[in-house]
Structure formats: C-alpha cells, structure tokens
C-alpha cells in the first residue's frame, strides 16, 4: 500500500504512555518529598455499563501511576442527600486530593448542585464554575481532561496553533467550549460550530486544525476537509456494525488530512492522562496551601 499520500496518524496511546511515564516519575518524587501519595476518589452512581468501564480505567491508571485511588459505588436509587453526604466525607478526607463524580448521573439527581459542591481545589475534572472561570481568564490549576489532552497531543506532535484557523465542532461544557478557549489561549483563530451552524461543510473546509466533538458517527467526511489539515476526532460512537468509531469518517479523511487521530487510540487515552496530571497537581496544591 502506498502510504505517502495518507495522513500522519497521531498515536494517542503512545503519547499517553510517554506522558504517563513522566507523571509516574513525578508522583514518586512527590512521595519522597512529602511522605504521602496523591489520592483520587471517583464516585459512580448506578449501573451505566460505559461509565463502569471508564471508572475502572481511571482507577487502574491512577494506581499504575503510583497514586492512592478509591471508587465509591452507589446504587441507582441513591438520594441527593446520600450523594452529598458521601461527597462531604471525601471533601474532609486528607488522603483524597481529587474528587470526580462520573457523569451522567441518574436523572433524579441534581448534577449542577453536585458539581458546585466539589471544592474547586479538589475538582480534578475542572467542571466547577470557579475553575471554568479560571480557564476563561487563562489562569488555572486544572484543565478539563479531554481538551487538555488534545493540547498535549498537539504539543507532542509539534503542531503550532498560533495564527492557525481552528474550527471546533461541538459546544458542550465538557469538550467544545473549553477546547475553543484553549486553542484561543494558544493564539489560534477559533470558530465554534454547533447544530444550528449554517454552511458547516464550508466552515470545516477552512480549518487548518479541526476538532470534532459532536457524537455523530463518521459525520465529517474527507470531502469536507482542507488538504493537509490536522483532524482531531474526539467522538466515541458505535457504527452500524457496533464497532467503536469517531465523528470523522477515518477512511476518507485520512486521504486528505495532513495528520489525524484514530478512534480508538487517539484522544481517548489522553483524557485519563490529564486526570492523572490534575490529581498530582491537586496534591501539590494541598501541600502548598497547608
């Protein structure tokens, strides 16, 4: 097969491994200096199978990095009061530096109240309004895991954002909006698109750096991509055969793009990597503020 006309594949697994090795070394140094290790608590309510896999992976990754890790599994019928009581306990626990509540929560629970209740200094998902505000200003301790993971990838690949036309498709609080903000901080010229955007394909075609986070299997096709563009596919979907796939049609995009992330093995591994970085940072903050 002739590979020369194909995009460079950005290997998220490899970048995550390299970055995690560095975090593991920093955790070891932190332990030697302070006599304890960073601790992460992940709270999961209910039986969502995808959430259970994510939580298991987060626990495993934090333990592999040498951190202390607990998973608090709560039943589907947990009340708001019971969940808040569990969070109060974790807030007061000195061994826990980072708290993460796995989303989505069952419908009867108030998600915004939960996210507001996690103290900003233990908010390793960076979803608290105070942390969101810090991200907007560009003065932050924690960055939201997926967008920060994308920025780490771009840096690792020596892809300079400054002055580039960046198009982000999706405007969720978790991915799209903070992604746009981080690209802006890196001096990109950023356009954010969403379900009401008109002439979407035309806007996509202008992108030097395209980040797609919409949750629609194989939505972006090669004919929409600018030749040589960097295509970052955040989507995690199942195709018609139940196979994991992204928001971009990899086969056609790969023929046009200059570089592209695969799904799986692209952005996914970087998300947990940022969580580890944030947990270590939370422990460093705790030492600093003691």
The tokens for 151 are 């920025």
125 assigned to active site: yes
Q: Does 190 bind ligand NAP (CB under 6 A)?
A: no
Residue pair 244/263 in contact by the 8 Å Cβ criterion: yes
Q: Does 260 bind ligand NAP (CB under 6 A)?
A: no
**Stretches 133-141, 182-190, 222-230, 233-241: which one binds ligand NAP (CB under 6 A)?**
233-241
Q: What are phi and psi of 192, to 5 degrees?
A: -110, 125
Q: Does 235 bind ligand NAP (CB under 6 A)?
A: yes
Give CA–CA dist 131/143, Å, rounded.
Answer: 8
| Catalytic residue (one of 11, 58, 123, 164) | 58
- Residue 13, sorted as left (phi over 0), alpha (psi -120 to 50) or beta, turns out to be alpha
The tokens for 186 are 């890196």
208 assigned to active site: no
Q: Does 268 bind ligand NAP (CB under 6 A)?
A: yes
Q: Contacts with ligand NAP: how many residues (CB under 6 A)? A: 25
Q: In the set 87, 166, 214, 286, which binds ligand NAP (CB under 6 A)?
A: 214
Residues numbered 150 to 189 that lie near ligand NAP (CB under 6 A) are 169-172, 174-176
Residue 94 CB, shortest distance to ligand NAP, in Å, is: 30
Q: Does 204 bind ligand NAP (CB under 6 A)?
A: no
Residue 203 CB, shortest distance to ligand NAP, in Å, is: 10
Q: Does 147 bind ligand NAP (CB under 6 A)?
A: no
Burial class (CB in 10 A: 0-12, 13-18, 19+), 241: exposed
- Between residues 213 and 248, which has the closer beta carbon with respect to ligand NAP? 213
- Between residues 42 and 267, which has the closer beta carbon with respect to ligand NAP? 267
Q: Does 234 bind ligand NAP (CB under 6 A)?
A: yes
Give CA–CA dist 103/60, Å, rounded.
Answer: 18
CA 32 from chain centre, in angstroms, equals 29
| Catalytic residue (one of 86, 122, 123, 125) | 125
Give CA–CA dist 60/23, Å, rounded.
Answer: 14
Give CA–CA dist 207/220, Å, rounded.
Answer: 13
Q: Does 262 bind ligand NAP (CB under 6 A)?
A: no
Alpha helices in 93-230 (DSSP H): 111-117, 129-137, 145-156, 176-185, 200-204
Give CA–CA dist 132/138, Å, rounded.
Answer: 10
139 assigned to active site: no
- Residues belonging to the active site: 58, 102, 125
Name the site residues for ligand NAP (rule: CB under 6 A): 146, 169-172, 174-176, 193-197, 200, 213-216, 234-237, 267-268, 271
């Amino acid at each position: 097969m002739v590979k020369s006309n194909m995009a460079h594949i950005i290997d998220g697994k490899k970048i995550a491994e390299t970055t995690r090795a560095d975090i593991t070394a920093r955790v070891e140094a932190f332990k030697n200096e302070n006599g304890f290790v960073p601790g992460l608590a992940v709270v999961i309510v209910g039986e969502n199978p995808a959430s259970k896999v994510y939580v298991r992976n987060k626990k495993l990754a934090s333990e592999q990095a040498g951190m202390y890790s607990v998973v608090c599994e709560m039943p589907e019928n947990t009340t708001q009061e019971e969940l808040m009581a569990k969070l109060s306990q974790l807030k007061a626990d000195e061994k826990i530096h980072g708290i993460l509540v796995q989303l989505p929560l069952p419908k009867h629970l108030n998600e915004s109240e939960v996210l507001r209740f996690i103290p900003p200094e233990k908010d390793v998902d960076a979803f608290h309004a105070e942390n969101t505000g810090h991200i907007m200003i560009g003065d932050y301790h924690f960055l939201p895991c997926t967008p920060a993971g994308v920025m780490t990838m771009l840096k690792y690949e020596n892809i300079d954002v400054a002055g580039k036309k960046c198009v982000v498709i999706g405007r969720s609080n978790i991915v799209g909006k903070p992604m746009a903000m981080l690209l802006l901080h890196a001096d990109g010229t950023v356009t954010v698109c969403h379900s009401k955007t008109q002439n979407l394909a035309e806007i996509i075609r202008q992108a030097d750096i395209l980040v797609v986070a919409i949750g629609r299997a194989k939505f972006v096709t090669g004919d929409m991509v600018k030749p040589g563009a960097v295509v970052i596919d955040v989507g995690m979907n199942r195709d018609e055969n139940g196979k994991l796939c992204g928001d971009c049609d990899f086969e056609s995009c790969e023929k046009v793009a200059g570089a592209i992330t695969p799904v799986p093995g692209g952005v996914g591994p970087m998300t947990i990597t940022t969580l580890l970085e944030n947990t270590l940072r939370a422990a460093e903050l705790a030492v600093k503020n003691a």
